[in-house]
């Protein structure tokens, strides 16, 4: 019986250690907006600054700095792993003008396409793709 329990424990540890499908992502990281792109053009001439900080406790803060005001939105995030790709879902605590998505809800979808770049998924509804690094 003890051997069976020991084997079950070892098997459980092996499975739990293998579930990390994504890259080794550094939480507590700030992603800075650096360009917009569409299928026909790209620009780095952006009239505002925007940062998304992902904290270790699964909370985030999105900050947009305009000439005359700063807008802050916060909430929780989670990672999703599908077909070898890493996605980040930001769920804002409340509605904000800096939420960029295709629905009328408080969730934004991003994909981490490399350790140095994250993009939003609002291009699916004809918004420009926002690139962060």
Mean pLDDT of 60-83: 98
pLDDT average, residue stretch 76-80 = 97
Q: Which of 23-27, 38-42, 52-56, 111-115 has the lowest mean pLDDT?
A: 23-27
- Non-local (6+) Cβ contacts of 83 within 8 A are none
User: 80 forms bridges with which residues in the sheet?
Assistant: 87
User: What is the reported pLDDT for 27?
Assistant: 66
Annotated domain spans of the chain: 23-132
Cβ neighbours, 10 Å, residue 29 = 13
> Do 122 and 101 contact (CB within 8 A), yes or no?
yes
pLDDT of residue 5: 35
* Backbone conformation region of residue 57, classed left if phi is above 0, alpha if psi is from -120 to 50, else beta: alpha
Q: Predicted confidence band at 18 (pLDDT cuts at 50, 70, 90)?
A: very low
**Whether 119 contacts 110, CB under 8 Å:** yes
Give the pLDDT confidence score for residue 94 in this predicted structure: 97
Helix (H) and strand (E) counts in the chain: 1, 9
For the segment(s) 23-132, the CATH number from 3.30.450, 2.40.128, 2.60.40, 3.40.190 is 2.40.128
Q: What's residue 19's pLDDT?
A: 40
Report if pTM > 0.85. Answer: no
Q: Which range has the worst mean pLDDT, 64-68, 100-104, 116-120, 128-132?
A: 100-104
Give the span between the Cα atoms of 93 and 85, in whole angstroms: 26
Tokens describing residue 18: 């293998």
């Amino acid at each position: 019986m003890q051997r069976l329990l020991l084997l079950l424990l070892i098997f459980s540890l092996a499975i739990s250690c293998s579930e990390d499908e994504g890259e080794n992502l550094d939480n507590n990281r700030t992603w800075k907006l650096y360009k917009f792109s569409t299928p026909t053009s790209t620009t780095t001439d952006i009239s505002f600054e925007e940062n998304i900080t992902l904290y270790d406790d699964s909370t985030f803060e999105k900050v947009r700095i305009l000439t005359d005001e700063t807008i802050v939105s916060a909430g929780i995030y989670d990672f999703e792993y599908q077909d070898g790709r890493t996605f980040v879902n930001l769920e804002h605590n409340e509605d904000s003008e800096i939420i960029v998505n295709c629905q009328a809800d408080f969730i934004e979808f991003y994909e981490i396409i490399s350790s140095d770049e994250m993009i939003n998924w609002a291009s699916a509804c004809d918004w420009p793709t926002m690139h962060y690094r």
